[in-house]
Amino acid sequence: MSLDWQDLELPPGFRMDFREKTGSTNDDVRSAANAGAVKGLVIVAGKQESGRGRRGAAWVCPPGEGLAFSVLLRPRENKALWPRLSLAAGLAVAEAIERLGPLAEVKWPNDVWVGGRKIAGILVEAGDDFVVIGIGINVGVKEFPLELADSATSLALECGEAPELSAVLLLVLERLQVWSAKIGGGFEELLRGFRVRCALTGKAVRLLAADGALSGTVAGIGDGGELLVETPNGVRRLVQADEVRITG
């Protein structure tokens, strides 16, 4: 890439560490945090060889076509509120994408969709006194493997051309700075923004909860950011779930 990432001016409070090749930016930021790095560290990978999503699922980010980066935060809020950073990150990415053109939705808890197709994934991992937010965005990808062709999209496909990776990064960081500050005071505003963009509200879903598989209709997002699912046995309030699939 012609861009000199190291000279890129980030929003106040952030600082850049660009790596041509690495295993996982989340692992890199975690190591830096454990070594005493201050909040605002942003590690961007030109090529990420061991990127992952939730539960260790692989995340493939083609060099020059995808944007893979992780951000170090050290929240002052009570640790019980840290899971709200997943909502903040999802909303930040969705808003950044919308500023580039396409309308974006958040598929609770960790994906961003455009037109029902995944355009970005988010992985939030916490340490003792820090949080790592990993984000992968399909930017310049124009062709996906056959198994992803119907479920994935990119900014290049949605906008007609790919924006600069640096421009996408700056937009996400700008919005992340806003929303990550609202997981305590200001959470109602964050929640309103997330609810507007929730891709699952009103949809029939099947998912894997802590006590097993669950089917129902999503009633919305609760006051704590949890997923509300109407089932034959009543409304379930889910703080976390896996394999959330829309069935109707």
Q: In which band, very low, low, confident or very high, does the pLDDT at 165 lie, cut at 50, 70 and 90?
A: very high
Amino acid 51: pLDDT: 60
Residue ranges and CATH numbers for the domains of the chain are 5-196 (3.30.930.10), 204-246 (2.30.30.100)
Sheet of 15-22, strand order: 15-22, 41-48, 66-73, 131-138, 117-126, 111-114, 105-107
pTM comes to 0.93
Q: How far apart are the first and last CA of the chain?
A: 42
Overall average pLDDT of the 25-54 stretch: 89
State how far the Cα of 25 lies from the Cα of 58, in Å rounded to an integer: 13
Whether the per-residue pLDDT at 231 is higher than 90: the answer is: yes
pLDDT tens-digit series, residues 92-135: 999 999 999 899 999 998 899 999 999 999 999 999 999 999 99
